[in-house]
Amino acid sequence: MNIDKHNNLTEHICLALAHAGNVGIINAESVKAELAKTPGKFNITRLLTLISPAAEPFIEQMATQARDLTIQRFGRTVQLYAPLYVSNFCSNSCLYCGYNKTHDYPRTRLSIEQALADADVIASEGFRHILLVSGEDPKHITVDYLCDLARKLRDKFSSISVEIYPMTTPRKNKHPGTVDEGLHY
């Protein structure tokens, strides 16, 4: 998207919200006021103010704030992880996804033993952070499977994350036991 279209779209959004009473007129003074506030919490007024055409002269100041907030939250480190694909089966037909169930290619699910063998290779390459990846395959890649695998991987990796199917319960928005086993999602 070119900058003129971006500014035009942003201007339309800002004007629409201003007319709705959610945001006042956005000018250099309102940008300065938003930049003077402590960054880090989402606020629609702040967002619209900082993406408005009036904020263009303050790009460097915004970049500095973003850098400072990133360093504050994450430090000056970069962590690399390696994915471990435990299953490429999926029950969905998402057009954008390679796991789409309508795609015709060989599918596989790793046993715990196969996953451990692959994880040994990943660890031997120096990775200390691993991402367990699966399509939506909850009948075979169960919470018990993931917890068992995580227990066995715990000594090899500093962190074990998962990118799999939704795992929510109504009360806590997480599946019992997974965090206890060292899984992060």
> pTM here?
0.56
Per-residue pLDDT of the chain (185 residues; tens, 9 = 90+): 444 555 566 666 666 666 555 556 899 999 999 999 988 887 888 888 999 999 999 999 999 999 999 899 888 887 889 999 999 999 998 888 888 899 999 999 999 999 999 999 999 999 999 999 999 988 889 889 999 999 999 999 999 999 988 876 544 445 545 555 556 54
Q: Of 74, 107, 133, which residue constitutes the final position of a domain?
A: 74
User: HSE-up of 152 (CA within 13 Å, CB side)?
Assistant: 16
Task: Check if the beta carbon of residue 14 is closer than 8 Å to that of residue 26.
Answer: yes
Q: How many distinct structural domains can be found in the chain?
A: 2
Q: Residue 97 belongs to a domain with what CATH number? A: 3.30.750.210
Task: Check if the beta carbon of residue 133 is closer than 8 Å to that of residue 164.
Answer: yes
pLDDT value at residue 145 = 93
Whether residues 103 and 177 fall in one domain? yes
Whether residues 24 and 54 fall in one domain? yes
Distance from C-alpha of 131 to C-alpha of 163, rounded to nearest angstrom = 7
pLDDT value at residue 2 = 44
pLDDT value at residue 1 = 40
User: HSE-up of 177 (CA within 13 Å, CB side)?
Assistant: 11
pLDDT value at residue 108 = 92
Whether residues 70 and 87 fall in one domain? no
Return contacts of 56-62, CB within 8 angstroms, 24+ apart.
57/28, 58/31, 58/32, 61/35, 62/35
Whether residues 92 and 148 fall in one domain? yes
pLDDT value at residue 16 = 60
Task: Check if the beta carbon of residue 92 is closer than 8 Å to that of residue 100.
Answer: yes
Distance from C-alpha of 168 to C-alpha of 7, rounded to nearest angstrom = 39
Whether residues 69 and 96 fall in one domain? no
pLDDT value at residue 10 = 63
Whether residues 27 and 101 fall in one domain? no
User: HSE-up of 123 (CA within 13 Å, CB side)?
Assistant: 14
Residue 24's domain comprises: 3-74
Whether residues 24 and 66 fall in one domain? yes
Whether residues 138 and 166 fall in one domain? yes
